[in-house]
Each structure stands twice: as structure tokens, then as C-alpha cells.
Chains A and B, each alone.
Chain A
Amino acid sequence: MTGGQQPLALSWRDGGHFHDYYPGHSNADAVALLRQALGEGDCSICLHGPEGSGRTHLCLAAADAAGDAGYYLSLRRPRVEALALLEQQGAVPLLCLDDAHRLLGDRDSEKVLFDVHNRVRDGGGTLLYTQRGDVADNDFALADLRSRWRGAIQIHLRALSDQELAKGWSERAKLRGLQPDPAVISWLLTHRRRNFSDWMDTLERLDRAALAAGRRLTLPFVRGLLKGPTPGAEG
């Protein structure tokens, strides 16, 4: 056999909606609380958690769920561009600022964030900030912004446990019609970062490769495909 089916240049990538976020047991309460707070509105919310806990996914989901009322801005970009976007951002019903911690520590940047916060809140809108780590760890340059963040509804996301990671990934694989060998999951746990987003990227890659090669997701196939160095891989 010379190979399998040629995959289309299309991708089925989960993300950006509440229904395709996998909270596991660790984050079920946090997601429910987030949806509750967004539903009540007229507040500010700070969603924080470690890398890979799904902050961006939930930030996108919040904007998506609000339809035309929700605006999402990723601040994971050059500071100049992020500030230009924020300076022109008007009052909206829901503004979701992803990775907002990237602008902290610089007084002028914080002032821009502070002004946006005031514009949205003065108009009765809701602000959702996501940030890595804990608000208490932030090094604010502007006390006014610090008090607004610390006065927000604080929602903590946690890293998924190995069991949750394995279960969530298997469920997503099954949705794509894939049935990975159990050994594959054990191997992934020791050779990939324990980060659901990273695992979903891996699933995407494996799905396409398996389709192209007409192979099942067996350990030799997966190991062969992923044997290259993985940035930040653990264990």
C-alpha cells in the first residue's frame, strides 16, 4: 500500500467555544462560575491559571457566547500594537482581554488598560481579563489598575491532572473517530508537556498523519511521528 487518503487542507480544531472546552473535574466549578458571572454582567472578572489551563479558550468562548456584544482582544502581540488596539477600543457590553498580564509593569501601558477598564465599566459593560499566574503575583506600576484587578471576581483555573488529561484527550480523539492504543496515552504523558492545548495540537497532527498514512494510532506510529525534539517536553 502506497499510502492512505490525502488529507484536505482543512483542519478540525477545537477551541473558542464553551462546549468544546474540557474542564475535567479540576476546572468544572471555575467554568460554571465564569458563565454565571458573565451571565449576570456589569462586573469585571479576572480569570487566571497556569500555561495550558485553557485561559485563551475560555476567553474566546466568553466573547463567542456573547455574540455581537462580545469583543475579544488578544494582547499576545507586540506592545505597540496591543496599545494601539486598546486606545481605540470603545465602550462595549463585553470586552475580553486575553493575556492582559503582558502589559503590566509599565506605567504608560497600565494607564491605557486602566482607561479601557473605565470606559467599559462606566458604560455598564463587563470586562474579562485573563492572565497567567495569580493576580497577587503581578507587579503593577499603577495602583489604580491593581485595585481594579484585585476587586474583580477572581476565578482560578488549575492544570489538569494526568488522569483528566488522558480522559479528555481520549474523548476528543473518539469524536474524530480515532481509537488510540492505551500505550499511546502513557507515552504522551511522559513525552509531551502536560498541557491540554499542546495535546490537542498533537491530536490534530496525529489525525492528519494517520489519515494520510491510513494507519491506526499505535505506539510505534505515534512514537515515529513525534520522536523529534519537543520544545519544553517533560520527563
Chain B
Amino acid sequence: MATLLKRALDRLSPTMGAEEVQTWLAPLKPHREGGVLTLLAPNSVIADVVSERFLSDLRAVLRDMDGELSDVRISLGLVGGDDAAPVKPKSAPAKAPEPAENRVDPRYHFDNFVEGRSNQLAKATALQVALKPGQAYNPLLLYGGTGLGKTHLLHATGNLIKKRNSDTRVLYMRSENFVSTMVKALRSGRMDEFKRTFRGADALLIDDIQFFANKEGTQEEFFHTFNSLYDGQQQIVLTCDRYPKEVEGIEPRLRSRFGWGVSVALEPPDFETRVAILQRKAKDAGNPLGDDVAQFIAQRMHSNVRELEGALNKLKAHANLTGSRIDLAFAQAALRDLFRSHEQVTSLSNIQKTVADYHRIPLGELLGKKRQRSLVRPRQMAMALAKELTRHSLPEIGQAFGGRDHTTVLHAQRVVRELIEVDARAREDWESLLRLLSG
């Protein structure tokens, strides 16, 4: 029956267009009973659109190809090829296993988290929480830009808690799944079960809480869940893409609770950490990298671990395809296009514009000659960022900043380096700009 449907789709493709056929009709699974062919759609959108727009043509083609078909119908159904069967309502639904996306991912451990200056405090704190859940730091909030290892530490914490006590109930959830689970529970009148599930966890790990913003109902429920867990000394670990006080649309009472325990930032990895991450991941994937190759990639990709992984995956796929050894020349050729596009993101002009926007000063003033303190500091910051994030020389950077001398750039770099050591506000600006520029 699947073959009949496939032939029908091949026939419809020239007139309907392959894109429409593949989007709407290819996901249908046939189920035949006698002369009636039921096409099972995986969701209601596909079922509705196929019924409205395509069913009459499809029915005509199918009946033309098989004279014994008396009818062709659309129904919502389980996906399973010829064995597919329409969904039948169950009087007492069996308890479904925890969906994959809600389980702690066993691949993430503290052992395979590459530590560097940028993340060592976060790792140490998470480790303490895993060793003494509910006692050491509660809640633990890990925050920082995307792709810096927050989720890795979240899973690592959950895994270690479970490893030390297999009876412990650790519940991991992305914030959006918390929202959708709650909505489903509300619709099906099963809020009590929802509350029991979350409030009964020994450790609740919620990823990306910034997506709770402006969802008042969810925040209300999470507030009560939080209180219940906290009062019961059950561990709460949260991640957020920025310091929670910076997230607009989160209720003040919830924000204040996020701050009850400890909040630790993860920063973009420095050069040495990037090299170590690359070598570790490449080794784990069975394609170890030489120092020169790892340094070559780390010099060009500054921002986050996910991008480093993307570069490694491309390198690995190229190497497997060609059967080549990964040396420096191979890496340079295989990653040429990637680095070209990456360098566009961290161009000098992009850095200048981002810094000017961040400090709300006109770009012309940032590049101009005025020496007011309100302009000098952002200018120095932008020059230091240019040195950090691009491969331009000091004279090139000076030239791009209104034709300044290379010694001015060097001075700016030193000033900023010293400033972020002693001035919390300057450090915050530097880190925010790094996050903005490196995604």
C-alpha cells in the first residue's frame, strides 16, 4: 500500500510541485481496510490542509491506479508505515515513559567538561551542588551566553546526583517543555498530577529560564513549585542566558528567589581553553588534532563551544570523505569558507557598531577625535575587542578607528585589561559586549 501511495505522489509531483508533495503528502501513512484507504496524518495541520487542498486530486489518482479502492480518507494517526493504525481514544491512558527531551542526558559528565578560567568557578560550584544536593547552594543558577557549557553542567550535575544515589528523582526540563507540559495538564484537568510530578522531584533542573519571560501563568506555577522544593530542601538548578535581573518580563518575586542561592557566570572560553576543548572533543570523536590544527581553529573561532564543534564536525566529515589525515594544510582548505563567513561577523565595522549601540553613542563620535571620558572608554573597549576578536594588526585597527596610531590601540588594550580586573562595571560591559559579538 505504501508503494501505491508513493506512485501516486510521483504522479502528482510534476503538477503540484515536489516541495508541496513532500511537505504535505509524503508524511501520510496508508492504512487499508477492504476498499477503504485511510491516510494517517501525523498532526492536525497536515490533516486539515490535505483535506482542504489535496484530497480530491489524491483520491482521483489513487482510484485511477487501483480500481478496487472505494474511498480514500484522511485521519489523524500514529506513524508506522503499513502497520499504522488510527488513534483510538483510551479510557485509561497508560503512563508514558519520560520523553527523551526531559531526561538527564547521560553523555554529559564533569569528567568530559573542559575546564578553563572562563568556567572553572561554575564547574566547581555545580560539582559541590551535585555532591551535596539541597545543602550546598540552592538554587544554583548558571548564566552566560549560548554555547558556553551551561547545559553540559546542568546534565553533569543531574548525572552525578543520580550516580551517587540511584533512588534520587532528578527531573530535567527545558523551560519550554515546562510551559507546554503545564498547558497540557491544564487542558486535560491534570494539574494535581503536574504539581506532584514537579514538587516530588529531589532535584529539578530547568534549562533556559529566560523563556519564562512574559508567561505569567507559568511563572505563577513555577513560583509555587520553587517554594515547595526550596522549603523541602530539594535541589533546584537553573540556567539562563544572562543575569536573571537583566531578563525583562520575569516577575520580581521570582527574580529575587533566583538570587537566594548562588549565581555563577560562564564566560566565552579563552584561547587556551578553546584549544583544550578542540583537542578533547576531537580525541573523543576518534580524530585527534595536532597542536597546530587546534591552535589554528582556536585563533579564528572565539565565541562558543558550539561553533568549535561545528568546525570540528565539518573537518571530520571532510576527512572521512576524502580519507585524508587532518593536518594544518587540510584544515586550512576544509575550513576556508567557514572562517571567511565567521570573520564577517566579527569584522571591525561590526565591533564598532555594536559598541556604539551598546553605549548609545553615535558611531561618528566613537571614531572621532573628541576626548570626553564618555567617549574615550567605549572607544578603548572597542579597540581592545577588535584586538581580541579579529586577526587585524594594531596599525590596521588604529587606521579603522579614525586613523589612530598603533600605540593608541596598544594603550587601549592595556587600559581595558587592567580596568576589567578592578572595575566590576567595566568587566560587566566587556563581558556583555563579548557575548553580543560572539553569539
Contact of B20 among A12, A74, A137 (CB under 8 A): A74
Given A60-B19, A72-B23, does the pair A150, B310 have CB atoms closer than 8 Å? yes
- Interface: A71 (CB within 8 A): yes
- Interface: B317 (CB within 8 A): yes
Given A115-B176, A144-B241, does the pair A151, B101 have CB atoms closer than 8 Å? no
Would B306 and A147 count as touching, CB distance under 8 A?
A: yes
Would B23 and A85 count as touching, CB distance under 8 A?
A: yes
Question: Within A115-145, which residues are at the interface with B (CB < 8 Å)?
Answer: 115, 118-119, 122-124, 134-137, 140, 143-144
Given A74-B22, A144-B241, does the pair A40, B320 have CB atoms closer than 8 Å? yes
CB neighbours (8 Å) of B399 from chain A are: none
Would A63 and B18 count as touching, CB distance under 8 A?
A: no
Would A150 and B23 count as touching, CB distance under 8 A?
A: no
Would B321 and A36 count as touching, CB distance under 8 A?
A: yes
B42-50, B161-169, B192-200 - the one binding chain A: B42-50
CB neighbours (8 Å) of A19 from chain B are: none
Would B174 and A118 count as touching, CB distance under 8 A?
A: yes
Contact of A153 among B45, B145, B313 (CB under 8 A): B313
Would B314 and A146 count as touching, CB distance under 8 A?
A: no
Would B345 and A85 count as touching, CB distance under 8 A?
A: no
CB neighbours (8 Å) of B46 from chain A are: 85, 88
Minimum CB distance partner of A38 in chain B: B317
Contact of B439 among A37, A91, A146 (CB under 8 A): A146
Whole-angstrom distance between the Cβ of A168 and the nearest chain B Cβ: 19
Whole-angstrom distance between the Cβ of B191 and the nearest chain A Cβ: 23
Would A98 and B337 count as touching, CB distance under 8 A?
A: no
Would A90 and B42 count as touching, CB distance under 8 A?
A: yes
CB neighbours (8 Å) of A136 from chain B are: 341-342, 344-345
- Interface: A180 (CB within 8 A): no
Minimum CB distance partner of B102 in chain A: A122
CB neighbours (8 Å) of B176 from chain A are: 111, 115, 118
Contact of B22 among A13, A37, A72, A84 (CB under 8 A): A72
Would B307 and A150 count as touching, CB distance under 8 A?
A: yes
Contact of B13 among A16, A81, A152 (CB under 8 A): A16
- Interface: B202 (CB within 8 A): no
Mark each residue of chain A from 1 to 30: 1 if its CB lies under 8 Å from any CB of chain B, else 0.
000000000111101100000000000000
Would B146 and A36 count as touching, CB distance under 8 A?
A: no
Complex Cα distance, B15 from A115, in Å, reads 33
- Interface: A178 (CB within 8 A): no
Complex Cα distance, B317 from A119, in Å, reads 24
Would B45 and A84 count as touching, CB distance under 8 A?
A: yes
Would B341 and A144 count as touching, CB distance under 8 A?
A: no
Mark each residue of chain A from 92 to 127: 1 if its CB lies under 8 Å from any CB of chain B, else 0.
000000100000000000010001001100111000
- Interface: B267 (CB within 8 A): no
Would A16 and B342 count as touching, CB distance under 8 A?
A: no
Complex Cα distance, B145 from A120, in Å, reads 22
- Interface: A73 (CB within 8 A): yes
B: interface residue count bin: 35 or more
Given A63-B22, A123-B100, does the pair A153, B314 have CB atoms closer than 8 Å? yes
Mark each residue of chain B from 326 to 355: 1 if its CB lies under 8 Å from any CB of chain A, else 0.
000000000001100110110000000000
Whole-angstrom distance between the Cβ of A222 and the nearest chain B Cβ: 22
Would B320 and A122 count as touching, CB distance under 8 A?
A: no
CB neighbours (8 Å) of A140 from chain B are: 439
Majority secondary structure, B binding face: helix
Q: Output the residue of B14, B26, B310, B342 with the most chain A CB within 10 A.
A: B310
Question: Within A66-92, which residues are at the interface with B (CB < 8 Å)?
Answer: 68, 71-74, 76, 81, 84-85, 88-91
- Interface: B86 (CB within 8 A): no
Would B14 and A13 count as touching, CB distance under 8 A?
A: yes
CB neighbours (8 Å) of B44 from chain A are: 88
Complex Cα distance, B14 from A40, in Å, reads 32
Complex Cα distance, B46 from A151, in Å, reads 31
Given A134-B344, A154-B341, does the pair A88, B320 have CB atoms closer than 8 Å? no
Would A151 and B45 count as touching, CB distance under 8 A?
A: no
Whole-angstrom distance between the Cβ of A209 and the nearest chain B Cβ: 16
Would A74 and B19 count as touching, CB distance under 8 A?
A: yes
Would A156 and B45 count as touching, CB distance under 8 A?
A: no
Whole-angstrom distance between the Cβ of A213 and the nearest chain B Cβ: 21
Question: Within A23-76, which residues are at the interface with B (CB < 8 Å)?
Answer: 32-33, 36-37, 40, 43, 56, 60, 63-64, 68, 71-74, 76
Would B26 and A147 count as touching, CB distance under 8 A?
A: no
Mark each residue of chain B from 302 to 332: 1 if its CB lies under 8 Å from any CB of chain A, else 0.
0110110110011011101100000000000
Complex Cα distance, B321 from A131, in Å, reads 24
Mark each residue of chain B from 161 to 191: 1 if its CB lies under 8 Å from any CB of chain A, else 0.
0000000000000101000000000000000
- Interface: A148 (CB within 8 A): yes
Mark each residue of chain B from 199 to 216: 1 if its CB lies under 8 Å from any CB of chain A, else 0.
000000000100100000
Would B307 and A147 count as touching, CB distance under 8 A?
A: yes
Complex Cα distance, B342 from A122, in Å, reads 26
Complex Cα distance, B344 from A135, in Å, reads 10
Contact of B147 among A90, A135, A147 (CB under 8 A): A147
Given A36-B320, A36-B321, A136-B341, does the pair A88, B313 have CB atoms closer than 8 Å? no
Q: Chain B residues in contact with chain A, CB under 8 A? A: 13-15, 18-20, 22-23, 26-27, 42-46, 49, 81, 100-101, 105, 145-147, 174, 176, 208, 211, 241, 303-304, 306-307, 309-310, 313-314, 316-318, 320-321, 337-338, 341-342, 344-345, 435, 439
The 9 listed contacts between A and B (C-beta, < 8 Å) are A16-B18, A36-B321, A60-B22, A71-B26, A88-B45, A144-B208, A146-B439, A148-B146, A155-B314
Q: Which 4 A-B pairs have the closest CB atoms?
A: A151-B306, A11-B14, A88-B43, A136-B341
